Structure 1
């Protein structure tokens, strides 16, 4: 396992983190006992970052993680969750209630990182005036240690970084083999601000694993298939030959501190752990990937023309 320092927090974190959505069964049935064993094996394998959210299976992910971290394992991990979420108001009271409920499900008195979930769902002003002050108060009270924000919208994340009040940002599917636009502006800005960076969905919401998420629009899937056809030179194993190069592409990026991947079984976990040896793509291969899709978004930002 490789480790790095998570921005201004100074915490030593594993380059591979465990994403919480599959743990609650968001993407299909996940046996609770197998999930607990898998979490324990992840910790034994060197993973010390677990990221979840109250909206993952209506709290089931947090509940399972809390159960698995009993017996002293809680102190072995950098535990991250999120506040509020899709379809909710991000007001002060809602935010505090969300965090208190998460602490109860996680069976802990504090989380290491609390992130504003899917920040594009609510106005910037509401988050700055209500959500963020609520989290800062919770930090003063010792219930959270650091504050982050998550969204796929890169310009929005950059606006939050410029506030100087966040310790971490998390985006998803924006530094992949078929959309690596995070490298152009966001990653340099985060590095200059010494802000921790997490990336979720390095497989592009299943596209690079040949199992695209069902909610993806047809035009996105069609464009992804077109782009993947140009990546045949990376396919060294089959089936799902782009999984390994996609994982190594993200894990080897020094200014992405944590790459989050979901796993619901120990078999999937072991495959992911095998990519944590510090080896990325060959320089010529990486350069070719950059040249193919330089500046070409697959996933639009909020302000893009429809």
Structure 2
């Protein structure tokens, strides 16, 4: 396992983190035992960064993570988000959301609190409400660092330019078939000293040949993804899910990314993915070929 410092926060983290959506059952039924065992397997593999949100499983992901970390809280860096989808991004809603997260997580502090889904609010509402609440919570010692999460680069850029963020989490924007985060998000993050967290390096399961259920309603997107994956046969291994290793290594060795998240709901998957966090990436010629194939071509 490789480790790094989370930007200017000084917080030391594993370069691979465990994404919490599968723990809450968002990608298929997951038992509480499997969720807890997966967290323990991640810890045992050297993973220290755990990313969740109230949205995942409507609180179940946070609750299960808190249960799994009982007695092992000191080994973990916990990142969660606010607010719950459907709620306004007001000051009061944000304070309430974080307090509820603290209870579910069974902890007195959150290492990284992130504004969830920047596209779901206006910049003004988020600045006057959620970001202001985050700063107050940081002064109170209930959170250690502040971030924002989003897929739209132009929207995320607004928050990067405030200078208030310690981290920015993008997802599905630095993968083998869509690496458009290189064009705006990464340069801005470097300029403002913001650490990048890369979510969904497997493009919501697409690169593992198991797309998330909600993507089945978008046949055009899946068809384009299949076309792009066909151009990556030079990276595919003969075993099932043959692009997973290349996809993980592509993200894990990117110097612009502090933490790459892996979504896993079983100990075997998280242990296998952790083995890819050894500093070995694609060959130079392979990397160049990938970057040339889809430059400036977002999948979504």
Indicate yes or no: 2:188 matched with 1:195: no
Indicate yes or no: 2:40 matched with 1:40: yes
Measure, in 2, the Cα distance between the counterparts of 1:85 and 1:157.
Answer: 18
CA deviation profile, 1:227-254 (whole Å, cap 9, x unmatched) = 1111111112321111110000000101
Report the counterpart of residue 242 of structure 1 in structure 2: 243
Report the counterpart of residue 138 of structure 2 in structure 1: 139
**Map of 1:23-102 to 2, 5 A cutoff?**
23-71=23-71, 73-102=72-101
Report the counterpart of residue 123 of structure 1 in structure 2: 122
CA RMSD of aligned residues (A): 1.0
CA contact (8 A) 1:179 1:293 kept: yes
Indicate yes or no: 2:263 matched with 1:259: no
User: TM-score w.r.t. structure 1 length?
Assistant: 0.95
Dislocated runs of 4+, deviation >2 Å: none
Measure, in 1, the Cα distance between the counterparts of 2:44 and 2:257.
Answer: 23
**Equivalent residue of 2:214, what SS?**
coil
Report the counterpart of residue 103 of structure 2 in structure 1: 104
Give how far 1:271 is off: 1.3
CA contact (8 A) 1:85 1:118 kept: no
Give how far 1:297 is off: 0.8
Give how far 1:222 is off: 1.1
CA contact (8 A) 2:84 2:97 kept: no
The more displaced of 32-41 and 104-113 is: 32-41
User: TM-score w.r.t. structure 2 length?
Assistant: 0.97
Structure 2 unaligned spans of 5+: none
Indicate yes or no: 2:219 matched with 1:218: yes
CA deviation profile, 1:58-94 (whole Å, cap 9, x unmatched) = 10111111111111x1111111100113221111111
Report the counterpart of residue 228 of structure 1 in structure 2: 229
